[in-house]
Structure 1
C-alpha cells in the first residue's frame, strides 16, 4: 500500500507539470494576446490606443518574452513562492480573485453532492430490490429524463417560470439588498432561500446517473453465490441486504467524493453563467474571453491538482470500504 501511494504521488507531480505546460501553451494558441483584446475593445468603442502605449503594456505584462520564458516565470513563481501572478483584467493577484469566490462554489458543490447522495442511494436500492415493479419503472423513467435534459435548459425553464408566474428572477444567490452586505444571519438565510434552485438543477443529472449505477451494481450483487448462501442459512432479508450486497454496491458513493475537490473551483460554469451565480465559473469564463492567461492558467492548474488529489482520495476511500480493492492495492 505504501509503494502504491508513493507511485501515485510521483505520477501526480509529473502529471501536474505536464498539464501546466500544455495549459499555458493552449492559452497562447489563439491569435493575439491580452493587449490585442484591449485594443479590439477600445476600437469597438471608437477609441484609439497608440503603438507606444501598446508596446509599454506588452513590456509591463511580459508578453514580448518567448513562450518558454513566460512559462518558466509563471510556474517557478507558483512552485517556489506560491505566487500565481496578477490578473491582467482585474489588476489584482490571481489567488485573491479565486479565493474571493471559492467559498460559495464550495458551498454549492457540497450541497449538491449531499442532495445527490441522499436521493440516489435509497431510490437505487429500492429499484434493485423491487426490480420491474411500478416504482422501479417510475424511477427508471425519471432517471432517463434527468440524464437527457441539459442542465442549462432546465435553468432557463425555471427562470422563465419564476418571472412568468412569480414575478421575480430565479437567478443569483442573494436578493439585491444582500449582494454587497456583510455576512450576518439575514444574509445566510437569504442564501439558503436562493440555494435550492441551482442545487436542484445541477443535481438532477447527477442524481439520475447515480440511481442507474447503484441499481445496476446492486442487481449484480444480489444474485451472487454468497447472497444465496446467506439467505439459505436463514439470515433476515434486511440484515442480509444491508450487510453484504448494499455495502459492495456503494462504491459509487466513495468514487464521487473525488468530484468535490474540483467542483470547489469549477462551480458548474455553464449553470453559474445562466443563473448569474457569483461563483468561480463565470470568472473563469470571462478570463478565457479576455485571454487573461495567468488567471486562466491558474484556474486550470488548480482544477487539475484538485482532480488528481480527489481521485487519489476516492481510491483510498474505496480501498478502505471494499476489501477486494484493498487486497489488490496491497499487492502493488
Structure 2
C-alpha cells in the first residue's frame, strides 16, 4: 500500500506541471492583456504619464518577455526581475485589477472556498449513499419513484432559483441573515467559536443549493451500478447458500458498486467550483468563483491563472483521495491487476 501511495504522490508532480502550462497557454490566448487595454484607454484620453507607469509595470512583471520565459518566471523556475520569485516560492503574482498582490485578493476567499467545497462533497455523499442503496434494493417501490422524482427536480430547478427560495425560508423561519457565509459583524473579526458557529449556520443553504445536482446524479449512478451487481450470478449463489440479505449486500455487490461512486470524488470538485459561480454571486458568497469571473472579464492574467491553478490543485488532491480509497476498497487496483499465486 505504501508503494501505491508513493506512486500516486509522485504522479501529482508532472500532472500539476502539465496543468500549469495549459492554464498559462489558455490565459494567454485572448489578444492583449489588462495593461494593454489600460494603455489603449489612456492613449485615447492623452494621459502620457500614466502610460509610462503602465509600461514600467509591464517590464516589472516580465510581460515584455517571450512566452516560455514568462511561463517559467510565473512558476518560479526562471529568475525574473527580482530573482526566483514565482508560484514555487509562494509568490502568486500581482492583480492589476485590484492593484495589489494576488495573495491579498484571494487570501480570505481560499479557506472559505475549501470549507464550502468540503461541506458540499460531504453533503453529496452522505445523502446520495443511503438513498442510492434504498432505491436499488427496493426497485420500482413508491420510495424509489419518490426519490427519482426528487432527483429529477434537483437536476431541473436552476441553482440560483433554489438558492433564492432557501435564502428566504432560512431568513423567515430561522432568522439567518441573507447571503454570505457568516453574519456581517464577523466579516473582519478574528476567528472565534461564535464566528465558526455563524459559518456553519450559513453553510446550510449554499451546501444544499450547490450539492443538489451532484446528489441527484450520484443517486442515479449508485442505483444503476448496484442493480447491475445484484443481478450477477455470484449474488444468486450467495443467496442460495443462505447468506442474509444485509450481509450479502455489504460483503459483495455494494463493494463492487462503490468503485465508480468513489472515483467521482476528483471529478466532483471542479464541477462544484465551476457550477457555484452564479450561485456565489446570487448568494453573495465570498469564494473565489466571482473573483475568477471578474478576472477573466478584465484579462487580469495572474489572478485568473492562480485561481485556475488552485482549482486544479483541489482536483488533483480529490483524485488522490479517490485513488487511495479505491486502493483500500479494491486490492486489484493497488496491486495493478496482478494475481498472486
Shared topology, TM-score over 0.5?
yes
CA contact (8 A) 2:269 2:318 kept: yes
State which of 21, 46, 49 in structure 1 corresponds to 2:47.
Answer: 49
Give the secondary structure class of the aligned counterpart of 1:74.
Answer: helix
1:73-92 CA-to-partner distances (Å, cap 9, x unmatched) read 11224465343323223344
Q: 2:266 aligns with which of 255, 258, 273?
A: 258
Q: Give distance in 2, aligned partners of 1:243 and 1:168.
A: 44
Where in structure 2 are the equivalents of 1:1-332 lying within 5 Å?
A: 12-38=12-38, 49-50=47-48, 51-75=51-75, 76=77, 77-78=85-86, 81-159=89-167, 170-258=178-266, 268-330=276-338
Aligned length: 329
Structure 2 contact 117–273 (Cα < 8 Å) conserved: no
Q: Deviations over 1:24-67 (max 9, x none)?
A: 22222223322234457779xx9763243443333333333332
> Cα distance 1:247–1:166, how it changes in 2: closer, same or farther (>3 A)?
closer
* Structure 1 residue 20 displacement after superposition: 2.2
Deviation at 1:278, TM superposition (A): 0.8
Q: Is the 8 A contact 1:20 1:301 kept in 2?
A: yes
Is the 1:105–1:264 Cα contact (8 Å) retained in structure 2?
A: no
* CA drift at 1:3: 8.2
Q: Give the CA RMSD over aligned residues.
A: 3.4
Q: Is the 8 A contact 1:109 1:263 kept in 2?
A: no
- Ranked by relative contact order (alpha carbons within 8 Å, sequence separation 6 or more), the top structure is 1
Deviates most, 53-62 or 3-12 = 3-12
CA contact (8 A) 2:332 2:338 kept: no
For 1:186 and 1:271, how far apart are their aligned partners in 2? 25
SS in 1 for 2:52: helix
Determine the C-alpha separation between the residues in 1 that align with 2:88 and 2:217: 42
Structure 1: distance between partners of 2:200 and 2:6: 42
Q: Structure 1 length as normaliser, TM-score? A: 0.84
Once the two structures are superposed, residues 163-186 of structure 1 have per-residue CA deviations (whole angstroms, 9 ceiling, x without a partner) of 899998632112222222222222
Return closer, same or farther for 1:158/1:5 CA change in 2, 3 Å cut-off. Answer: closer
Note the residue ranges of structure 1 that are not aligned, 5 or more in a row.
none
Q: Name whichever of 195-204 and 298-307 sits farther off.
A: 298-307
Cα distance in structure 2, aligned partners of 1:314 and 1:235 = 30
| CA distance in 1: counterparts of 2:183 and 2:310, whole angstroms | 31
CA distance in 2, matches of 1:190, 1:12: 36
Q: What residue ranges of structure 2 are gaps of 5+ in the alignment? A: 78-84
**Partner SS for 1:250:** helix
- Per-residue CA deviation, residues 94-114 of structure 1 (Å, 9 max, x unaligned), is 345444322111111121122
Distance apart, 1:196 and its partner CA? 0.8
Verify the 8 A CA contact 2:327 2:333 in the aligned structure 1.
yes
